[in-house]
Structure 1
């Protein structure tokens, strides 16, 4: 018997910040493929997007206490590698990828400590569910970590983590994601954050991006992409 794959067709136009930035730089054919992947949700593709869930959760749990505990990430990585030997297939592969991600993030210890040690951090789960809407398109731009310089009483910045082992972010995409997330806070949370405190970290590339001080051209270009996506959404077929 052939195994059936249950797919989900998304009714309303929506896209992640990263994919929107990629769409902005893509060819016509690549744009169509991006739209299809956003509208038609294949369980196999969803599983790939969630493969770094363990690494993401462990990093958030570590840094929201203090960068002094960064070394524990090496212990977590070792535990994940041991666990990977008790399972097979994709489960084993994903555990190894998460271990590699933790090791890569730990390699940024000195850089991150110097940059953020004066700020406290907390899980951004409190803003889950709130959405950024640009020209009729829901853009997923919520970061994982909130930054504060008053012991968490208010939000002064954020960190968004990106995991992609084979395709590092270029400057325009990294800055674009940071700008979109900054816009999220301005429009949804009513916070005008300083660009230098709007951070995107490419974990595997060990690169840190922040929103540019002048990002109007970036936002205008991405807004135009959203208008195009909204216009094309109903025309996308399986």
Structure 2
């Protein structure tokens, strides 16, 4: 198997930024030798939240998802845990305030964007947004993106969510806005269901990028030492 260069997903980078040294080493080892059989958790919940953002804030997919989870027959411990957390996540999401821009304007979901990453200090930061949207306001095209995080045990604080939202902003600028589209900070959405809810990108991302450069330098150092 071909070894990738130094890389880290944006959620792992946010986690890394607040971790103990032992946990940082664990994150680096996971990134260097990813488990190809790793279970994907909370798939239904994530898909329904994505659908709400794709459908102008229409909450029906989440409400339907709650009912579907209640009806679902589960036997294994992992399935039981997944259902409990997914139900909690969707019920919490119902009370979130969706940005009004998404309700007031038509937009389309962009697909087939080839690149999923940005590079910071030689580290490939895998942003991989859950959703990229293009919104038309007064004949100008604007871009936004969404990244959802669901974890009761490792919820993000506001600073960590700002890193995620900033990475979305930077990603849209460098990888998606090829024809003069403008990135809208208020539509670069980090959603952490058990954390701070919906956090948007700062208008000026330079300070947060500097912080992330420092984190990436540490990632690179530990990657080379591992």
TM-score bracket, normalised by the shorter chain, equals 0.7 to 0.9
CA contact (8 A) 2:108 2:135 kept: no
* 2:167 corresponds to: 180
* 1:5 corresponds to: none
CA 1:186–1:114 in 2, change beyond 3 Å: closer, same or farther?
A: closer
Q: Deviation at 1:154? A: 4.2
Tell me the TM-score normalised to structure 2 length: 0.82
CA contact (8 A) 2:7 2:126 kept: yes
* 1:58 corresponds to: 48
* 1:92 corresponds to: 80
CA 1:86–1:13 in 2, change beyond 3 Å: closer, same or farther?
A: same
CA 1:149–1:42 in 2, change beyond 3 Å: closer, same or farther?
A: closer
* 2:194 corresponds to: 204
In structure 2, stretches of 5+ residues that fail to align are: none
The total of aligned residue pairs comes to 222
Q: Deviations over 1:38-61 (max 9, x none)?
A: 2232357x31xx212221122223
CA contact (8 A) 2:131 2:145 kept: yes
Q: Cα RMSD over matched residues? A: 2.9
Tell me the TM-score normalised to structure 1 length: 0.78
* 2:12 corresponds to: 19
In structure 1, stretches of 5+ residues that fail to align are: 1-7
Which is strand-richer, 1 or 2?
Answer: 2
For residues 14 and 159 of structure 2, the distance between their equivalents in structure 1, rounded to whole angstroms, comes to 8
Alignment map for 1:205-224 (pairs within 5 Å): 205=195, 207-224=197-214
Of the three residues 120, 127, 131, the one matched with 1:141 is 127
Alignment map for 1:35-46 (pairs within 5 Å): 35-42=28-35, 46=38
Q: Deviations over 1:6-37 (max 9, x none)?
A: xx995422111122133233343332222122
Which is helix-richer, 1 or 2?
Answer: 1
* 1:194 corresponds to: 184
